[in-house]
């Protein structure tokens, strides 16, 4: 979906017990984080690019991919994964 959905849309989406967002743009990540936080949720976000930094910074827990990520995303995150061996 595109950025800028209505409050009613977000209320419906966030009414589900479990939600996974995948393949989102950096703008969508930030919007998802903000709406989840408005609903009282604790939010964790992963990212590795410069454009992910706003969502990483806004999230309660920002997780950057250390070995492949940008310096900007690592600096914006609370946690940096130092290995990709999973």
Confidence of residue 73 (pLDDT cuts 50, 70, 90): very high
Report the pLDDT value the prediction gives residue 7, as an integer from 0 to 100.
86
Contact, 63 vs 44, CB < 8 A? yes
Report the pLDDT value the prediction gives residue 77, as an integer from 0 to 100.
96
- Give the pLDDT mean for 43-68: 93
Residue 1 has pLDDT above 60, yes or no: no
SS (H, E, C) the chain: CCCCCCHHHHHHHCCCCCCCCCCCCHHHHHHHHHHHHHCCCCCEEEECCHHHHHHHHHCCEEEEECCCCCHHHHHHCCEEECCCCC
- Give the pLDDT mean for 61-82: 92
Report the pLDDT value the prediction gives residue 2, as an integer from 0 to 100.
56
Confidence of residue 5 (pLDDT cuts 50, 70, 90): confident
Q: What is the mean pLDDT of the chain?
A: 89
Output the six-digit token pair for 68: 């492949």
Report the pLDDT value the prediction gives residue 80, as an integer from 0 to 100.
94
Output the six-digit token pair for 65: 């991919």
């Amino acid at each position: 979906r595109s950025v800028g959905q209505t409050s009613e849309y977000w209320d419906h989406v966030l009414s589900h017990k479990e939600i996974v967002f995948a393949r989102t743009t950096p703008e969508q990540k930030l919007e998802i984080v903000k709406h989840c936080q408005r609903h009282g949720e604790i939010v964790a976000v992963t990212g590795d690019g410069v454009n992910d930094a706003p969502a990483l910074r806004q999230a309660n827990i920002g997780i950057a991919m250390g070995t492949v990520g940008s310096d900007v995303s690592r600096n914006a995150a609370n946690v940096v994964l130092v290995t990709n061996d999973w």
